[in-house]
A and B are shown apart, each in its own frame.
Chain A
């Protein structure tokens, strides 16, 4: 299976694929370290130049926008608030909803199930105008709440937690009941520790999803105070160094937590 020749062909395909996927970002990064005169006269660059510090300092702290008040650091703060808010609140509300659906005998259980899972059919992009109308009726435009809440109206995470809970053996609850655990204690002491991997996987997924939102922040923030990095991409015009800086936070989250991410995915594949 592991003959020398087959390993050589495996490596060549992987190296070629990796190069193809990484090349665009490398060229953007290399170009971000040159002055604009070099770029304008010689085109995009493959090698590193000497303008790294000044270019990145410019993007990070330069004031832009109509008011000349906003900086990249400010945009990044808003993006992180939005991403953390969406990731944390999705995990909490979905864990609880899935718990109710799987572990409780309640009236209207099927109704709840359908009310929640039909949301899979209607992504935000499809209901974007009425969502905007409602958010502005509730006076939530130009607030973090308005940026975050409508993106929580999704049940993908609930669906994954439900699938996961169903694989947990019934004996666990029986044992917990014999020990006298009530529903809240069972949830906190048994289910949450067991769901750790799944929680991290969903958190990463929702963090990236929240950070990467583009259309919704454009619609819901007229005030520059609440602009995010990704929407600024078009409005402020993403320079090479802006592109590189903008991808760092979600990429770091994915790289550092990839072990849990892939493990969580393994559960969901079943």
Chain B
């Protein structure tokens, strides 16, 4: 914090109050409620609640459908983070070294960032529909693509849909990171190292580590949470729940299945996963990132 500060009693409370009150009411209260749901069982009519300990958790983690959803979510996060990161980086490096037309490329590549996941889903739905879909018929001709019955085909479908707009986000941040690198560093490296490929991986990329690290978190959160709108407008989990992310499964179980105990337990497991990712990010990655 700052060395020079204001000393005042009333005004800081007035300043922080709006956000604090909203967070207490709409965040901490729901979290408490989630814990109470997770450790209780409700009768079907919602009249009474009984404490059941870890029963809801046990039911969730021993459910094969849940484990399949966990497996899909992890693969989904991994593939989307890797694919969109690499493509975003590739395009950003090119856009940074282009001499003519830089701003045109930038504008053309930046805007898909603004498209909602649900819109991406509905769009992808047209391209992968059996009747109209260009990509459906293209892949179908190649290897008999059929996402409604084949699990790996369904994976391909939601992965293409999920990656598309996220390439833009990676592009924007990598380009910003590249423009942030001091010109003198790059000029010095030109003298020391002739191969542009090696120069990139030994000089430029390490300087991009803070951006990479930031994008890693952005991509993981996106693939984990925001893709709900994509799944709900594309496969809806087909075939037989194989493409349900954990978030989507919790939503379906809670709202359509009205099983609040199970949904609560699933929410807490997700909080633990996010907590683990955060600790991992600070312990292992941030210590290896060099901030200039």
Interface residues of A (CB under 8 A from B): 1-2, 6-7, 10-11, 13-14, 17-18, 21-22, 24-25, 27-28, 31, 39, 43-44, 92-94, 96-97, 99-106, 109, 112, 115-116, 119-123, 125-131, 133-135, 149-150, 152-153, 155, 158, 166, 170, 173-174, 177, 183-184, 186, 208, 211-212, 214-215, 219, 230-231, 233-234, 238, 240, 243, 246-247, 250-251, 253-255, 258, 261-262, 265-266, 268-270
Contact = CB atoms under 8 A, between A and B. Distances in A.
Of A116, A121, A135, most B-chain CB atoms within 10 Å: A121
13 contacts: A121-B274, A125-B251, A126-B274, A129-B267, A130-B264, A133-B30, A158-B19, A166-B2, A183-B8, A212-B117, A230-B118, A233-B121, A251-B115
Contacts of B124: 24
A10 B95 CA distance: 8
A92 B98 CA distance: 39
B270 A126 contact: yes
Nearest to A246: B119
**Secondary structure dominating the interface of B:** helix
B45 to A, nearest CB: 16
A152 B173 CA distance: 24
Contacts of A28: 123, 126
A183 B11 contact: yes
Nearest to A237: B122
A179 to B, nearest CB: 14
Contacts of A174: 4
Contacts of B172: 261-262, 265
B122 A125 contact: no
B109 A18 contact: yes
**Secondary structure dominating the interface of A:** helix
A93 B22 contact: yes
Contact of B23 (A102, A115, A126, A208): A115
A254 B110 contact: yes
A152 B26 contact: yes
Contact of B118 (A102, A183, A214): A214
Interface in B210-246: 210-211, 214, 221, 225, 228-229, 232-233
Contacts of B126: 28, 31, 44, 240
B26 A97 contact: no
Contacts of B173: 265, 269
Given A28-B126, A127-B267, A134-B30, A269 B228 contact: no
B179 A247 contact: no
B271 A149 contact: no
B11 A128 contact: no
Interface stretch (B52-60, B67-75, B99-107): B99-107
Contacts of B108: 18, 21-22
A123 B228 CA distance: 12
Interface of B: 1-9, 11-13, 15-16, 18-20, 22-34, 37, 87, 90-91, 94-95, 97-99, 101, 105-119, 121-124, 126-127, 132, 134, 164, 167-168, 172-173, 175-177, 179-180, 190, 196, 210-211, 214, 221, 225, 228-229, 232-233, 247, 250-251, 254-255, 260, 263-264, 267, 270-271, 274-275, 278, 291
A14 B34 contact: no
Contacts of B28: 115
A121 B280 CA distance: 13
Nearest to B116: A212
A177 B247 CA distance: 50
Of B19, B90, B176, B179, most A-chain CB atoms within 10 Å: B19
A129 B261 CA distance: 11
Contacts of A10: 94, 97-98
A172 to B, nearest CB: 9
